[in-house]
Amino acid sequence: MPSPAPLLITAFGPFGGRTVNASALALRGLRQTDRSFNYRILPVDQFEGPRRLRDAVRRLAPRALLLLGEAAGAGGIRLETRAWNKLDFSIPDIAGRQPRGRPIDATAPATISTPVDVRRLRQTLSRAGHPVELSKDPGRYLCNQIYFTALHQAAIPAIFVHLPLEERFPTARAVEAIRIIAAAL
């Protein structure tokens, strides 16, 4: 039986009127210097984003998932400890859809926690000089939907990491942090 493929790292494209997404900038920066991972940029689309994630997991059979997104108000890296079974978009996705107060999967639990040792990961990032915190709330937008999809449907470890906007946390620094997280996975 073949060994699992390397880590799959995802990020998001632009949304909400912005022309760039800090997660995509970081993913592209890492991809320029490290080809040992699989990379995907997902659209901020309620249906297409999760579909592309499921397709990539099925085709690549990665050993783990590192899911990246941006958090406009964050001053540091946020390691998301759980995902919520809820869609409650405060703004429309790129296709104009804005579900409010609906479950992602009516048959699934209300929340799912990551199997990744986030406390150890937080310590490792902190020792490397990165501002980092644990978060129990990835929002109810596409970041949460992708995370919930990964934790509920993929039988592999997954972690979602919110990065601050590029102007608060430069891409080179984000790439360094992603390397640390990837090594820990």
Angle in degrees, CA 151, 39, 12, rounded to 5: 70
Task: Decide if 38 contacts 5 (C-beta within 8 A).
Answer: yes
Angle in degrees, CA 109, 111, 113, rounded to 5: 120
φ, ψ for residue 131, nearest 5 deg = -70, 125
Per-residue pLDDT of the chain (185 residues; tens, 9 = 90+): 445 568 999 999 999 888 899 999 999 999 998 888 999 999 999 999 999 999 999 999 999 999 999 998 888 999 999 999 999 999 999 999 999 999 999 999 999 999 999 999 999 999 999 999 999 999 999 999 999 999 998 889 999 999 999 999 999 999 999 999 999 98
Tokens of residue 17, six digits: 């009127």
Task: Decide if 69 contacts 160 (C-beta within 8 A).
Answer: yes
Helices (H), the chain: 22-33, 48-60, 118-127, 142-153, 171-184
**Domains of the chain by range and CATH?**
8-184 (3.40.630.20)
d(CA 132, CA 125): 7
Pairing of strands 158-164, 65-71: parallel
| Predicted model pTM | 0.94
